């Protein structure tokens, strides 16, 4: 029997944690059956990097591909969740210690950030765990097609966007805003389906895992 899917997406609401410069999501009920309309119908307003989302190449590489250009094949398939929660930041040493002893094409980083989601934290923090600048080439050299992390950015808050640019320029999919608090390290099947937003610099996504033996 197929194992149960694990939803690793963040809920989106007016209470969502967002990047300091981004607006909170808003869902406005435009038509309401309580007011006598035939249906309930709502408008959604939010930044494309809200909650669980992918970064498109154009987010950090001007005039490059939008969210609609990111291949689905890169976002569906075998993925490894690795536990780097003991490290303040995820550097090459942290990756080497946690890296599986077999080829990996998609990796999801379970850091100390997942404890924040587990506690239900409601405010953005700037000291979240993220990749250091020198990890991009290391990941590319190992054939990574997708890297995901359990906060709103793979890059540390005070760092320049080097890690984003290196990965996106190499065609690596950047998946951010995961909740891995209920996920044990190991081998999984990843299902990540972002909205097909034409020319957008990012896209909200629903992401789930299925445990593989």
pLDDT per residue as tens digits for the range 109-158: 999 999 999 999 889 999 999 999 999 999 999 999 999 999 999 999 99
* Phi and psi torsions of 41, nearest 5°: -145, 130
Q: What mean pLDDT, rounded, does the chain reach?
A: 97
Domains of the chain, earliest start first: 5-11+48-211 (3.50.30.50)
Burial class (CB in 10 A: 0-12, 13-18, 19+), 132: buried
Q: Could you tell me the pLDDT band of residue 1, with boundaries at 50, 70 and 90?
A: very low
Instruction: Give the model's pLDDT for residue 3.
Output: 62
Structural element, H or E, at residue 211: strand 202-211
- In this structure, the strands spanning 106-110 and 186-194 are unpaired
Q: Could you tell me the pLDDT band of residue 213, with boundaries at 50, 70 and 90?
A: confident
Mean pLDDT of 19-34: 97
Instruction: Give the model's pLDDT for residue 2.
Output: 52
Asked if 42 contacts 32 with a C-beta cutoff of 8 angstroms, the reply is no
Catalytic residues: 59
The residue among 47, 86, 61 whose CA lies nearest residue 176 is: 47
d(CA 145, CA 91): 18
d(CA 195, CA 202): 9
pLDDT digits (tens, 9 = 90+) for 83-108: 999 999 999 999 999 999 999 999 99
pTM: 0.96
d(CA 208, CA 206): 7
pLDDT digits (tens, 9 = 90+) for 42-62: 999 999 999 999 999 999 999
Distances (CA, A) of 90 to 97, 142, 150, 204: 11, 16, 12, 24
């Amino acid at each position: 029997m197929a194992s149960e899917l694990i939803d690793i997406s963040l809920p989106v609401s007016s209470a969502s944690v967002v990047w300091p410069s981004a607006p909170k999501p808003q869902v406005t009920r435009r038509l309401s059956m309580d007011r006598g309309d035939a249906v309930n119908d709502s408008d959604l307003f939010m930044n494309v990097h809200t909650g669980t989302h992918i970064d498109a190449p154009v987010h950090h590489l001007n005039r490059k591909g939008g969210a609609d250009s990111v291949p689905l094949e890169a976002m569906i398939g075998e993925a490894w969740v690795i536990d780097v929660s003991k490290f303040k930041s995820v550097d090459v040493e942290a990756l080497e210690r946690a890296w599986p002893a077999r080829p990996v094409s998609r990796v999801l980083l379970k850091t100390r950030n997942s404890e924040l989601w587990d506690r239900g934290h409601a405010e953005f923090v700037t000291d979240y765990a993220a990749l250091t600048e020198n990890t991009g080439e290391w990941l590319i050299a190992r054939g990574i097609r997708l890297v995901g992390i359990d906060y709103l950015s793979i890059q540390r808050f005070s760092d320049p966007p080097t890690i984003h640019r290196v990965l996106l320029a190499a065609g690596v999919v950047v998946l951010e805003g995961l909740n891995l608090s209920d996920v044990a390290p190991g081998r999984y099947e990843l299902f990540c389906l972002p909205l097909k937003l034409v020319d957008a610099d990012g896209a909200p996504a629903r992401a789930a895992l299925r445990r593989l033996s």
